[in-house]
Structure 1
Amino acid sequence: MGMPSEIDPLSRTIALLRPRVLAWRVIEARGSWAIAFPANPVISFGQIISGNPTIKIGSTHTASLTRGDLAFLGTTEPWVIETGPNPRSIDFMTAIAEPARLVQTDDPSPNVTCFMAGAFVLEAPNATLVADLIPPLLPVLHNDVAAERLGMLLRLVGEEATITRPGRSLILDRLIEIILVETLRTRPDALPGHAQRLLTALGDKKLARALQIIHGGASPPWNVQRLARHAGMSRSAFADRFTRTLGTSPINYATQWRINQACSMLASRDMPMLQIAHQAGFQSVSAFSTAFSRVVGVSPTAYARSLEMLPVSAA
């Protein structure tokens, strides 16, 4: 009776990021070329339609791709996509200026590389969570079982991004959320530590029950005894298993999740502090402010004030 309806903690985490499609392009170029993308706090993604380009992030990450391969970049560092020997530089702004495609018509080479690519931005307060979920460079090869599913989703993004129709922004936002979830499920071995640990915990039926309580609609306080009871374990066994699997104690994990939710609510800029405190599971503004300051390093008021300097995310 005490269990809420089943909640998927991974989906709730993705929803908290509030991804928004920022750009979508189909780029086609002949011969040997290179496009250097500047440092930017966005997640880039794409699929190769033809050709064999290489993606490089400095000297640390490289992926050689071919037709049907996909790539996701969670890096904020500059990166390059290039093909062929002695590549000619294509101006970044020129490459993304047209929504349809760029064609290098002055190169006589019969070798044509074509790829569709896009980028999406995350809600400012929780954008730092991306480093916990997506590695700097995550290739998904064409012969991977998930490549066809992801390719289909990307094509749907392309269709919606290039045609203005009612409900376009909602569909794009939901598609991006689905793509993020599918990407995380596809290559758990290549994910950062937090994402690997979360997926491992979700695969453990007992820990998954506790995570559903934390991420779901059950009211705090979430003490270890209550979580252990829902997991069907003793308090000590549950605390040990949770900490070994997720790398942090149950209470620290629950507190961090509540603070992440509070950060998202503070970004709305129109909710009173008392309401935010209660919705994040705190009994008072004072208790909320103390926990928030301990985790984030500044008070909720100071944090909200810092967000006023940021542009409001596009709907």
Structure 2
Amino acid sequence: MPTTLHPPVLVQNDGLPIPQIGLGIYGPDDNEAADAVVNALATGYRSIDTAAFYLNEAGVGEGLRRSCIPREEVHVTTKVWGDDHGYDEALKAFDRSLSSLGLEYVDLYLIHWPLPAKDRYVDTWRALERILRDGRAKSIGVSNFQPHHLERLFADTEIRPVVNQIELHPGFQNEAVREFNAEQGILTQAWSPLGRGRVFESADLMKIAQKHSRSVAQIVIRWHVELGNVVIPKSVTPERMKENLNVFDFTLDENDHKTIRNLETGARTGDNPDLFG
């Protein structure tokens, strides 16, 4: 296996690139996050996904600095949490995130959840539009938005999200949201792409993995890639990081895809965006 592996990039609706595979940093504290970022960038990752809610933005920034990879070569995503919905609140939250990261800009800033009960995501989005125009975020997007949340943004604001980051894995394939995203020119980014480990219990996925002489994780990540998703598997282990990135020298056949389609259960591992918050 090569020492470094660089994933391909997809093009967002604003014309900017995003690596198709990135590293999710949900879970590690600052120290572990810094080490994970250093190891990921040494492996070949060029996309790091964090959030204010993860409480490790400072560690991500430290890892970026320790890596000595030029800033412009690394795609950095963070997110505004629900406590900071609203125009002024979101602007202040972005300032805190940028300070924690120790960066002058982020590549992608997302609304973490729509929180429809609060009904402030439109004002929050207007703050993101301001941040974009000020050049402090190169692109803006959303996470966990359903089609009707997006339609309201389309009606009441000016700029369309480039990405919608949603729960997506073989057990919960979120087809309706994926299709809506594609129709609207929005990239689908998969969080919990391995179903929080549930995929490793699937006998069908084990058979496909054996057929291709790959791991179950590699099969599922390859499935995401072939669907056209951006995918951000989590890991703090260098060998697992390499494994997750090494999925571009084989392809799944139609029988593989049919088998995986049949793994849909409709069961989320996370919250329902229409009910959360």
TM normalised by structure 1 equals 0.22
Q: TM-score, normalised by structure 2?
A: 0.25
Greater Rg over alpha carbons, structure: 1
